[in-house]
Amino acid sequence: MFRAVHADRSGRILVTDHPAIAFDGARGVPFADATPLPADAVVAPIEREALAAEKSGKPRRLGPGRLAAAALLPPGYLRTQLPAYVDATDRADLVPRPYAAIAADERGELVVAAVGIDRDATHDRAAYGRAEVAARVAAELRGRTSDRLVRQLARCAREYGCRAATNAFFARWDCALPIAAPGNERPPEAISLKRDGEAEPTESAAFHPSGEEIARLSTEHLAGGGTMVAFGRECEGEPLLAAREIEDAITRVRAVTRDGTIHLETNGSAPGGLRRLAAAGLDSIAIRLVSARASTYDAIHRPDGYRFPDVRASLRLAAELRLALAIKVLVLPGLFDRGDEIEALISLASDAPEGTSLVLRDLHADPLRALAVVSDHGEGPSGVSAALARLRDALPHIRIGAFVRPLAKVPHVP
């Protein structure tokens, strides 16, 4: 039996004698898919009353001073159940985060309701110490005080701990290229579509760099040993709304070097802009969505100036132009694993060419209020593990994982 845990007001995590209960998106269910808590996971209290289970399995409130607790998992894991708690309708939404259910095993060790779906050696190796980052950034800034783009990346690296910004100062792996693109999605406050990790930037770049500035940084990164430069990371709006500026930058980069991967993270809202970027030399694209059903997509993304058929058109165009394609699905238990949602995702991905990736990452949200945004489908969730098995069975030509991987190119090393 897994035992329920909760947090007290001081933040301590306490183990109870009650059976653990989790939330599958529709109801309280026994805790399942127990995975040892990863070393780099974060356990956080939730400002809501915790629930456990009676011996009969019926939910049991633990009292207003006993707060629910959840795990925030590192990339490579996918949560399968949500924490069980009593929502407080008189309080504001919870901060959007990827809350996962936790419990204690028979030894009192914490476990999380999750499955490991991928490992990425690049991500594992790319962790830098704070002192190391500060020293490297300071050294780089001393010689480039007038470079606005380098100053912006320095702030992202030091203040927000952004891995892709930090890579710019070490000339390794992928480098983020902030361009202050505007947004065209208006999701509910309970949902954050752009967050993808607890240490990512949360504000946009303060200026619009020129194509020349972007190209200079990009070519330096690739020539120094980096493998990828990327537009549209977490701090950005929608890069396809800045297609002309990005087109100029890509054209300048490809006039100097064919090394490395030029990558775009997008919602796929402007297929015309995508065609321009592909013609300029874009190599790789990840199109992000919560749902492959138009009604669910509209309810959560709340698109401004585009509709879901535009996203489908961008997916078809990426395949036609032979870009390396990833469909990045933001997973919320109770939504992702509904039968109609999974079948719609299979239909969307089934026409994608062999070599396409289906990238699954936890959605940052207030779980209960995010689920309330979507009208009842009439069919309950099947469970994230079962949904994963269905995807793998139906899409044997598609790689399912947690990371967008760059094209296999060897960068030029002078």
Please tell me the predicted confidence (pLDDT) of residue 315. Answer: 98
Q: Is the pLDDT of residue 368 over 90?
A: yes
Where do runs of H (alpha helix) occur along 178-334?
211-223, 243-256, 271-280, 294-301, 308-320
Q: What is the pLDDT of residue 125?
A: 46
pLDDT of residue 323: 96
Q: How many of the other CB atoms lie within 10 Å of CB of 238?
A: 26
Residue 166 has what DSSP assignment? H
**Does residue 332 surpass a pLDDT of 80?**
yes
What is the per-residue pLDDT across 222-260, written as a single tens digit (0 to 9) for each? 999 999 999 998 777 899 999 999 999 999 999 999 999
pLDDT attached to residue 57: 87
Using 50, 70 and 90 to split pLDDT, how confident is the model at 49? very high
Average pLDDT over residues 88-106: 95
Average pLDDT over residues 380-387: 96
Task: Say if residues 66 and 98 touch (Cβ distance below 8 Å).
Answer: no
Which pLDDT belongs to residue 302? 98
Q: What is the pLDDT of residue 55?
A: 85
The mean pLDDT of 259-279, rounded to a whole number, is 97
Within 8 A by CB and 6+ apart from 216, the residues are none
Residues in a beta bridge with 112: 35, 102
What is the reported pLDDT for 205?
66
The answer to whether the beta carbons of residues 129 and 102 sit under 8 Å apart is: no
Banded pLDDT at 204 (limits 50, 70, 90)? low
Top pLDDT among 331 and 234 is at 331
Neighbours of 325 (CB within 10 A): 24
- Write down the pLDDT at residue 122: 52
pLDDT at 356 over 90: yes
Return the pLDDT at 412: 36
pLDDT at 262 over 90: yes
**What does the pLDDT average to over 339-346?**
97
**What is the predicted pLDDT for the residue at 414?**
33
* pLDDT at res. 163: 87
Residue 67, token pair as written in the block: 């707060």
Across the chain, mean pLDDT equals 92
pLDDT band, very low/low/confident/very high, at 169 (cuts 50, 70, 90): very high
Give Cβ neighbours of residue 172 (< 8 Å, ≥ 6 apart).
126, 225, 226
Domain boundaries, the chain: 3-116, 121-401
Q: Which of 3.40.50.150, 3.20.10.10, 1.10.10.10, 3.20.20.70 is the CATH number of 121-401?
A: 3.20.20.70
Q: Which phi and psi (to 5°) does residue 102 adopt?
A: -130, 160
Question: 211-225 pLDDT, tens per residue?
Answer: 999 999 999 999 999
**pLDDT tens-digit profile of 189-198?**
999 998 876 6
On the question of pLDDT at 121 being above 90, the answer is no
| pTM for the whole structure | 0.94
What is the structure's pLDDT at 89?
Answer: 86
Tell me what the mean pLDDT of segment 280-291 comes to.
Answer: 97
Buried b (16+ CB within 10 A) or exposed e, 51-73: bbbeeeeeebebeeebbbbbbbb
User: What is the predicted pLDDT for the residue at 320?
Assistant: 96
Cα gap 218→257, rounded to integer Å? 10
- What's the whole-number mean pLDDT along residues 315-341? 97
- Helices and strands (DSSP H and E) totals, the chain: 12, 22
pLDDT at 409 over 60: no
pLDDT-derived band at 207, boundaries 50, 70, 90: confident
Q: Is the pLDDT of residue 279 over 60?
A: yes
